[in-house]
Structure 1
Amino acid sequence: MRTEKQITYIVGLNTVRAAAALSVVFAHLLGPSMPGISRYIFTGHPAVIAFFVISGICIHFPFRAAELSPMTFLKRRYTRIMIPTAVALILAQWIGIRAYNPIDGYILWSVICEIIYYSLYPLFLPISRKVGWPAMIAASVIISYVTVIGLGSDEYGNAQIYGPSLNWVVSLPAWLMGCYIAQIYRSGLYVGNIWIWRAATAITASALYWATTNTPIGFYLTMIPFGVLACGWILSEASNAERGNASAVMEKIGEACFSIYLIHVIAAAAIERLGITSPVIVCTGSLLLVIPFFFLVEKPAHELSRRLGRRMVAGTPH
């Protein structure tokens, strides 16, 4: 029997990570070339919201009832996320993707949000122990909707319109939902048939993508309710994994989800420079080029962050 920590951290979440990462890739590289309504099958923004929920779960689960050392925590998280991001940023500029930067927000807008959430977590944690995660989520929902209704959005409900100073506010409810899920999660929790959750999540994401591009109801209005649905899906995947039903392939892909997210558009641009224009070939090649980035950049950064944590716990911070 797997432990609760393994179920929550690895097995179920990696399947969700893989599905979300592949959805982003297919939305960017295949979606624009697909005919008619089929172009709405894959969508990136709801996938990012699922990532935010997962991030909240991963960050808070170890500290549900434990004390937090802010310096250790921040050093580990910054190392884990900033090294791969910095390398990807350099590669993007070398290839010529000028919008791939923290200000314009192409791809990196969600990474900036994550960095801000990590930075605020040492403050969020003691507040949650006084007022509870539900109260914090409710407050963040109000602030998020005041922001988006006040500022509006473009016709695509585009997150980048709010800029790095406000994107994190708009998406904060989803991240806090993840923290709450981590707080209440218990081994053996069953939330219903997994295929119903998967279908409901996929169909809803596609429907919201269609609504974003064809009606005034954009992602900026619908992503908070979608985050609630994503919580149910994630819990169902954890339950399914606990019973030993997780896909080994999706689990492996999920380990490289951050590399997939960071590098796919850079790899696609490099492949297209060779004169290759077939969306299927470009997409396939982009996913293959994720492999060296994961093993040469992301995995070493992850291992370094773990070593830093162990050294600081041992009383020899560097």
Structure 2
Amino acid sequence: MRANPLSLSGSAPSAKSLKIDAIRFMAATWVVLYHFGPPPFKAILTGHLAPLGGALWSSLVVLFAGPAAVIVFFVISGYCIHNAYHRDAALRPINYFASRYVRIGVPLAIVALVSQPVGDAPTLLQSVLWSLYCEIVYYTLYPLVRMRFHRIGEMIAGATLLGAAMVWFTHLHGQMVCDHCVYQNYGVAGTALLYLPGWLLGCLIADAQRADARRAAAPSAVAAVPGTDALRSLAAGDGARPPSALTAWLVRRLRDASRLLSNHLVIARWAVIAGGSLTFVLASTSHIKPAFLPSVGPDVTLTLFQFLVAVWLAAETSTAATSTPGMRAWLWARIGALGAWSYSLYLCHKFASAVLDVLGFVPGRPLVWVTTMVFAFALSYVFYLAVERPSHRLAGRLRKFVSKVPARSTM
């Protein structure tokens, strides 16, 4: 049985898990359906069935809230990067930055290059680039976060308060480019700040899991330090600084939430889906929006949503995908296998749409929608095989590369 890397109950860590890969792929698909729209039921169900077609289409538009899915990506990103690097006794900056920038930058650069002559592809690509810019910011900050990881609780609180102050000042005294935009109003730095707490919480989930795994593997090491928190004693035994009081408090809350929700995962999943849809509805200016709902932008709603995602992710990964019964385990395995190329899907689907536009496909028709979906997924998989997978392998080599230095003479 494959070990679950995110369990807060002590299972052994791993760089990847079926659940993480499956969630990545589902989040990428969510973004695709947000950009392409759901099946055109308005064109499929006509005549007496027109009201049903309109209701189905409107419901699915609300369901597939793409920006909320990007928040899921950010939390997973924080988990994955810390889970990958916490085993290294020392993080070599040159290897680290070369590896991370190659991993994300090479596919990005190639898509940006081939998009230039293809109609509106460069413009369409901007709708996904903002999140990748944020990822680059987080990758750049990670070595500093790692150096002061014992105070990550203060980092989360500080980023949350700074982000709230920035939003308050911008709404009251700033000049809003767009009422319900984030990247356009705050730029790369401001957008990265708003969603930094979720990314940091992903790192903290990975670290709490490592502490729990070590506690389960060596309970005597904890018992040997009476009167101290398990997390503190393990950190001290690992040669690291004991976590701050706020960091330890956050870990305890994550553990409590994981224990509470791990037996009610269906409810937790629906809560996340409903929360993501609510962020979309609150920002909507549609005439079908209920009048009693206020108008709240994603700079507020998605900032709050990231905390819900972190709690859900901690609970979701407390049970390994392979431990679920029957058909569910099979589904996790199948969807998880697709997660390897979720980045390619996220990066290429807009380019695929631009290619079809140039070829004369008219959006809104059922057959065109199916063609667009099939072409986007096929193109993304080909891009994964040709570009993303080789760049990942190169990034792995760069991370492990150690230059040969002549040994010093002991004479």
TM over 0.5: yes
Please state whether the residue corresponding to 1:123 is helix, strand or coil: helix
Q: Which residue of 2 aligns with 1:203?
A: 274
- Structure 2 CA distance, aligned partners of 1:98 and 1:30? 20
Give the drift of 1:281.
Answer: 2.4
Give 1:108's aligned residue: 129
Percent sequence identity over aligned pairs = 30
Q: Which residue of 2 aligns with 1:296?
A: 386
CA deviation string 1:227-285 (max 9, x = no partner)? 12112332333233354334122102211111011000101111232222322321222
Matched residue SS, 1:256: helix
Correspondence 1:98 to 2:122: yes
Q: Secondary structure at the match of 2:185?
A: helix
Aligned to 1:27: 34
- Aligned pair count reads 310
Q: Secondary structure at the match of 1:55?
A: helix
Match of 1:270 in 2: 355
State yes or no: 1:123 paired with 2:194: no
**Paired residue for 1:281?**
371
Superposed CA RMSD: 2.3
Q: 2:2 maps to which residue?
A: 2
Structure 1 partner of 2:47: none
User: Which deviates more from structure 2 when the two are superposed, residues 296-305 or residues 181-190?
Assistant: 181-190
Q: Is 2:159 aligned against 1:140?
A: yes
In 1, the alpha carbon distance for the partners of 2:73 and 2:170 equals 24
| Counterpart in the other structure of 1:69 | 92
Instruction: Give 3-state SS (helix, strand or coil) of 1:107's partner.
Output: helix
Cα deviation 1:27-49 (Å, max 9, x = unaligned): 00015956334311101111111
Instruction: After TM superposition, give the deviation of residue 7 of structure 1 in Å.
Output: 5.1
Tell me, yes or no, if the aligned pair for 1:53 and 1:178 is still in contact at 8 Å.
yes
Q: Alignment partner of 1:95: what SS?
A: coil
Matched residue, 2:318:
239
Higher Cα Rg, which structure? 2
Kept in 2, the 8 Å contact 1:160–1:167? The answer is no
Alignment of 1:59 with 2:81, yes or no, is: yes
Q: Are the counterparts in 1 of residues 112 and 122 from structure 2 also a CA contact under 8 Å?
A: no
TM-score of the pair, normalised by structure 1: 0.89
1:166 matched to which residue of 2?
190
TM-score by length of 2: 0.70
User: Is 1:228 aligned to 2:235, yes or no?
Assistant: no
Q: Does 2:359 match 1:261? A: no
SS at match of 1:114: helix
Q: Deviations over 1:179-236 (max 9, x none)?
A: 1111112469653322112111111111111111144211110122211211233233
Structure 1 residue runs of 5 or longer lacking an equivalent are none
**1:127-170 deviations in whole A, cap 9, x for unaligned?**
223xx222110000011111222224533344333222322112
- SS in structure 2 of the partner of residue 156 of structure 1: coil
In the aligned structure 2, how far is the partner of 1:46 from the partner of 1:255?
21
Q: Is the 8 A contact 1:18 1:251 kept in 2?
A: yes
